[in-house]
Amino acid sequence: MNLEFLTLSLLVVASPGTGAAVTIATGLARGTRTALVAAFGCTLGIVPHMLAAVTGLATLLHASALAFEAVKVAGVAYLLYIAWMTWREKGVLEVKADSAERTDWQVIRHAVLVNLLNPKLSVFFLAFLPQFVARNEPAPTLAMLELSAIFMAMTFAVFAVYGAFAARMRDRVLGSPAAMAWLRRSFAATFVALGAKLALTPR
């Protein structure tokens, strides 16, 4: 591990994406505690990609156009579903007093799916992490797991900050129906844009 790895990882984690958007939306809708649960779920969603890269399964995904496209289509479809439900006030920004609260498990499951259906994470782990493992490393698998753990810790920390900040703004936002309407539409547009970006990004 070196400063370059930490810097590049922080840039990747902090850049806008579906996980950050879901965590921020959860913070606005449910408060700090549930935002932290969502951040944890997004972090868990990295584990399958990490294990796939470490065990070599990501190589198959990278080599097989059909497998990659299938996962990408599923990811795009899920993002568009989130956008539609958010626009209809029944998605991540649903805050009506009479609505049933999501359980922690439901929040985690939703957050995991967001990252699980993003094939770019597998490609990221396949192309990015090996660059920081020395050729003469006696235990390359262990080294990759250690780097992955650092990346996941950074993900949780950054997303937790995003969610906590959003929760601090919660009362101001929820007190304004106009602000809530604008926010729902903004998040819906964001999810559509992220879905379009994923759909149009070449392998």
* Domain spans of the chain, in order of start: 17-200
Question: Which band of pLDDT confidence, cut at 50, 70 and 90, is reported for residue 199?
Answer: confident
Residue pLDDT, tens place only, 143-191: 888 888 999 999 999 999 989 988 888 767 665 667 667 767 777 787 7
Q: Give the model's pLDDT for residue 182.
A: 74
Calculate the alpha carbon distances from 65 to 54, 58, 129, 201, 202 in Å: 20, 12, 22, 13, 11
Residue recorded with tokens 């806008």: 16
pTM, two decimals, is 0.68
CA–CA separation, 105 vs 95, rounded Å?
A: 18
Which of the pair, 58 or 77, is modelled with greater confidence?
77
Which of the pair, 31 or 102, is modelled with greater confidence?
31
Q: Give the model's pLDDT for residue 166.
A: 87
Residue pLDDT, tens place only, 95-137: 433 334 678 898 999 889 888 876 667 666 766 676 677 666 7
Q: Give the model's pLDDT for residue 97.
A: 35
Beta carbons of 192 and 83 less than 8 angstroms apart: yes
Identify the H or E element spanning 82. helix 65-87
Question: Which band of pLDDT confidence, cut at 50, 70 and 90, is reported for residue 4?
Answer: confident
Q: In this structure, is the dihedral angle defined by the CA atoms of residues 122, 128, 133 and 136, taken in order, positive or negative?
A: positive
